[in-house]
A and B are shown apart, each in its own frame.
Chain A
């Protein structure tokens, strides 16, 4: 196979784009797709401070790498979930990435700082592990972005993630979620602006980006995610994609173009939110979901004296390429 751009030896074939690329032009393709998403959905501007939610996996590290390569002021935020070796290894990958690039990684450790881990939290709250994990991470990401004065919180959700969530929401007609399944959520009532710059890249592409960039990411899947619905939806969509290249992109971007607005509520998205009585995070009233989870699991708010923060390292800002 030959590269579509230079006719050199291709390293990857992308059926939905009917294209093959060499290393150089595949990396350019990925950066162009991200830039296109950033501009199309007005995610952030050149001078913005970005907090990247980092897991140590391919998507978040690819995103952080692209932001740093583009000269953005982007710090990482990692949450240790207390899932045994998986969390130890994922943290190692995130720290090594930050160290190699002289970037700032802010860390929270659930067991040390909040007194619980995800397996325990899920059992105590009678939630599936992915639900307890998602609730914890959303709260901590939001808090870190607002407290840190960041302009935007960026997550590594890719096209496969968004298509799978959309598939699940349509399958069960969760219309209350469909109006908010957007690549950008504006800041509101104590929540930061949230963006998903990788929505134009599939996870086969983010994995390939990491391999070709030499990014050492955690390949193994979270042991607690095995068999969850989200992975089932991805599997179903990949079966369709196999026969109909481009189906996932058509499904998701068709929804954004033609249907998302029908499900949007006209209500003020910040209406009805008040500060949590315990932690001050925005919630519907009383105590927020995260603090209720802490109650059930016997956890606690962190002691600021015990929290260890790495010394910020000055970013090596590289020249921004014209695109």
Chain B
């Protein structure tokens, strides 16, 4: 699967199948800080990502001193 990350923008190729939770562990991501979007669709933590999927790891944290 192709995994797209931001800050900085980069792309990884990983083997599937792999659950969303396992992907986040592997990338050392806090599940409170990101959403996983597969082929433009939001997916929950137990979804299984296939080898052919394109996955976006979308950060959700924002803000200066507002």
- B20 to chain A: closest CB distance in Å? 9
For B34, the chain A residues whose CB sits under 8 A away are 204
For B64, the chain A residues whose CB sits under 8 A away are 129-130, 133-134, 222, 224-225, 228, 230
Cβ-neighbour of B33 out of A20, A164, A208, A238 (below 8 A): A238
- A18 to chain B: closest CB distance in Å? 13
| A134–B7 CA distance with the chains assembled, in angstroms | 23
A104 interface residue (CB < 8 Å to B):
no
From B42, which residue of chain A is reached at the shortest CB distance? A11
0/1 interface trace, chain A 45-84, chain B, CB 8 Å (1 if under): 0000000000001110000000000000000000000000
CB interface residues, A 128-177, toward B, < 8 Å: 128-131, 133-134, 137, 155, 157, 160-161, 164
- A86 to chain B: closest CB distance in Å? 11
| A202–B30 CA distance with the chains assembled, in angstroms | 14
**Interface residues of B, count at CB 8 A:** 25
* B37 and A211 contacting across the interface, CB-CB below 8 Å: yes
From A224, which residue of chain B is reached at the shortest CB distance? B64
CB interface residues, B 29-66, toward A, < 8 Å: 30-35, 37, 41-47, 58-66
Cβ-neighbour of B61 out of A23, A128, A229, A231 (below 8 A): A231
* A1 and B58 contacting across the interface, CB-CB below 8 Å: no
For B31, the chain A residues whose CB sits under 8 A away are 242
CB interface residues, A 161-212, toward B, < 8 Å: 161, 164, 202-204, 206-208, 211-212
Mark A residues whose CB is within 8 Å of B: 1, 10-13, 20, 23, 57-59, 128-131, 133-134, 137, 155, 157, 160-161, 164, 202-204, 206-208, 211-212, 219-222, 224-225, 228-231, 234-235, 238-239, 241-242
